[in-house]
Structure 1
Amino acid sequence: MENCLELEKFSVNIYMQKYGAFSQVLLISCQREAKEALGPQLFAAVADIDQELCAQLTGMLLELPLSSLASLLTNRDELQKAARKARTEYLRFIQEKESYKIEWSDACLSEKKESIGELLYEKLLVDHPTDAAKLTGMLLQMDDQSLVKVMENSEMLKKMVETSLEALRNCDENESK
């Protein structure tokens, strides 16, 4: 552990020049080892500041250089400031992620509906070539879950198509009167 902390004092470039590529692997390994050793201590200190997000904040703070971690562990004011900053960044990240997830799911739903529409049209074209487009449009008005169930069950699809054809015939009859 002491050797790892001493290695941290060297800049990576100077250390690389002096000891070569293998030493970079050793340096990285020692830094990781040192951070793992400091993790529980940092977690306990962060938990005193923010119990709700202490695990996430500790993970974020462990990304800092070892020298910064050592400074945070010895200076409570610095640790509070760093924890607040990490919390702000974490909450912003979560908010952006949720916003993106909503946009992505909306895009996925419209793409899925378009794909289902294409499959549905091809299925309907075989038995109902003149009404396939109208029937597809009518069936696509269903909610997504029902539409998926209908597509997976040929008997349900057949019943829905019959119901839709009946509605089309009634509509055609009313228009001709």
Structure 2
Amino acid sequence: MDKEDDLETLGEQLYSLIYPKHKENAAKLTGMLLELPVAVLSQMLQDEAMLTAAVEKALRALQLALKSSEVARGDEDDVSEASDSLGDQLFELVDVYRTGHSQKITGMLLEQQKEAVLQLLSDPKLLEEHVNLALKTLKEQNIEETDLSDTSEADETDRLGEKLFSLVEQVDPLHANDITGMLLEMDSSSLHQLLADRAKLDVAVKKAQAALGSES
């Protein structure tokens, strides 16, 4: 019951923010966003830029679903153009989940048949399930491929660092740089867990704060 009440409250708050700019699609857009994790929704309500970006992505996904149903009956050339567009739209929706692997996950999802991809664009719950499955697969691959590519690992660390910093900054803006630096000493799979699990991140930040306190 509590979860349902929370979602209902979040839904009302989201709807009231979305309605002024998107009267016709406010209900659909709110429904799509409500499939995101509660922690992400709470962040959106506090961060106008994040909410605007998510609404725009959901809106484009809605428009694309309509267009693609027409394109599906069109020429081969149109279909290849639509595939590029599908990739762009899918990437934007996948990126909302802040997994740190948006590009890889999008690539994995695009290997499915076009109808399946269209379904993902129009069904946020299904998309979330597929994103989680792809993330699990990537994590398993990560464990197997530990020392294969140093350069891509450095890029990945940079990306993880940016994502971590933006989350840590919300908890402790004063020490965000120091704390992020300390967390980046952890291995890649642990960092992904922190990004995926807010509670674990909070615990790690508190430990880092305690360590910083003892140094000063």
> TM class by shorter-chain length?
0.3 to 0.5
Scaled by the length of structure 2, the TM-score of the pair is 0.32
Scaled by the length of structure 1, the TM-score of the pair is 0.39
Higher relative contact order (CA 8 A, sep 6+): 2
Question: Whose helix fraction is larger, Structure 1's or Structure 2's?
Answer: 1
